[in-house]
Amino acid sequence: MTTRSPASTSVPNWTVRRGSNSDDGATAMTAHAIGVSALPNGTYDVPTWQMAAEVLREAVDDAALALADVDGLYMPKPRPWTEQGFFSTALANRLGLDLARNVETYTGGTSGGSAFRLAVADVERGVTDVAVVLAAERNSHVETDDYLSYILGTFERDLQSPVGPTVPGLYAQSLQRYCHEYDVSREAVAEVVVKNRENAASNPEAIRSSGTTVSDVLDSRPVARPLRLYECPAPCDGAAAVVVTGADHAGRTDGPVPIAGTGYDHAPSHYLGVRGESLARHPAMAAAADEALDDADREVGDVDVFELYAPFPHTEAILSEELDLFDRGDGALAAVDRQTAVDGTTPISPSGGCIGRGHPAMVSPLLNHVEAVRQVRGTAANQVRDATTVLTSAEHGHVDGVNVTVFGGDDDA
């Protein structure tokens, strides 16, 4: 692997202070993303730590900083098949990092998002000055039986695991309910895949290098009826990193992007949906987005781009409806009408998302953040015209828990 040189960018002169949120009335510092890096998704034959070190160095270089400036390291706890235990400690030692904070989090698919929220909070409180949030994951060497055993262990041991559920099996249920409840055709849902594969084909970091058709999607083999293979994300290897800091460093770098707001919510559910509620609803998304937008002092209508953690096409549709972007049942139809295309009125997942870009689950939240920063900087592979505000999400389980982050925005918003 070779180190890639960051592009020099120019963005507006951002406000670097957020509204009062401390007991003494002092104004809290706004955290900024000032450096990003991501490896192309695919298959790697190098140790996971080497992938992590690569993106960490590149992100720090993109931020025009040195490794000696880093005093916070935040990452999702690597999954059980990762070669190195005490991963963040070993990585910090290899790179000679002197850290005030060294944190690993584990909340399933939201792990990277949870680590990011903690880094933002620590920077804004002044606990750390330069925080690197990173994730690295190798899935290509994991045997299917071992992976399924790991997944079974995440289900409720007494009531769920014994019947042998799978993640695609659960999402197949919400797909079936979504199509039934809102009379949505399978062809409309497949259009979400077509859109994301089209985006991925022009993203050099995506695993999918070609587009597809509705017929190809629906003719691909069944995985968990009614879900088809092309509607499922490709597990792969990947790594990404984001440098988060405050006003001092942000003011001295090219392309600082304010982290305007963050939010989190967890529904009263564990894989099987909220008791008494439809599987075609994901209420944690709406609540987390409300919190993040309120934190950013913005409305959803202020957002130019949505980079969503949506491992299946109907998930993207439902999440867009939870954001009130479309009426119930119209999220998939929006892809049919190309409203969610890169040049549409409501661009969703211009990177290709989990379906087109590839889905190393612990890394996907940070891949969304990297895309958000690039969109605001104007350097994305599939650049949305005049994008200044981007909303990202991450989820775990069956969209039981959700992180939402708002990047950028106008100074006077």
Quick: pLDDT tens for 342-398: 999 999 999 999 999 999 999 999 999 999 999 999 999 999 999 999 999 999 999
Neighbours of 102 (CB within 10 A): 16
As a whole number, mean pLDDT of residues 239-246 equals: 98
- Give the model confidence (pLDDT) of 193-214 as tens digits: 999 999 999 999 999 999 999 9
Residues 6+ apart with CB under 8 A from 2: none
| Residue pLDDT, tens place only, 287-298 | 999 999 999 999
Both tokens of 86, joined, read 């005490």
pLDDT band at 28 (very low <50, low <70, confident <90, very high): low
Identify each DSSP E strand in 156-245 by its residue range: 222-224, 227-228, 238-245
CATH code reported for the domain at 17-142+237-250 = 3.40.47.10
- Collapsing DSSP states into helix, strand and coil, what is residue 148? helix
Higher pLDDT, 363 or 27: 363
The pair of structure tokens assigned to 293 is 């937008």
> In the predicted model, is pLDDT for residue 16 greater than 70?
no
Is the pLDDT score of 24 beyond 60?
Answer: no
Of residues 255 and 263, more confidently modeled: 263
Q: What is the pLDDT of residue 11?
A: 36
Q: For the residues 110-118, what does the mean pLDDT come to?
A: 98
Please enumerate in sequence order all residues whose Cβ is within 8 A of that of 17, keeping only pairs 6 or more positions apart, or say none.
Answer: 27, 28, 29, 30, 247
Mean per-residue pLDDT, 57-75: 98
pLDDT band of 247, cuts 50, 70, 90: confident
Which whole-number Å values give the CA distances from 52 to 4, 163, 281, 307, in the listed order?
A: 14, 37, 36, 23
How does the average pLDDT of the chain come out, rounded?
93
Instruction: Specify the 3-state DSSP secondary structure of 270.
Output: coil
**pLDDT at residue 74 greater than cutoff 90:** yes
Which residues does residue 105 pair with via DSSP β-bridges, in sequence order?
76
- CA gap 114, 112 in Å, rounded: 5
% the chain with pLDDT above 70: 92
For tokens 């790697």, the residue is 44
Average pLDDT over residues 39-50: 98
Euclidean distance between CA atoms 27 and 188, whole angstroms: 47
pLDDT exceeds 70 at position 104: yes
Measured CA to CA, the distance from residue 253 to residue 34 in angstroms comes to 7
pLDDT of residue 21: 40
Closest listed residue to residue 364, CA positions, set 214, 236, 217: 236
- Name the band, by pLDDT with cuts 50, 70 and 90, for residue 13: very low
Could you tell me which residues are beta bridge partners of residue 407?
Answer: 259, 390
* pLDDT number for residue 18: 40
**Per-residue model confidence (pLDDT) at position 342:** 99
pLDDT at site 5: 35
How confident is the model at residue 254, as a pLDDT? 85
Give 325-329 contacts, CB < 8 A, sequence gap 24+. 325/300, 328/182, 328/280, 329/178, 329/181, 329/182, 329/183, 329/184
Q: Stretch 124-152: mean pLDDT, rounded?
A: 96
Task: Compute the distance between CA of residue 179 and CA of residue 282 in angstroms, rounded to an integer.
Answer: 15
Reply yes or no: is the peptide bond before residue 311 cis, omega within 30 of 0.
no
pLDDT score, position 27: 53
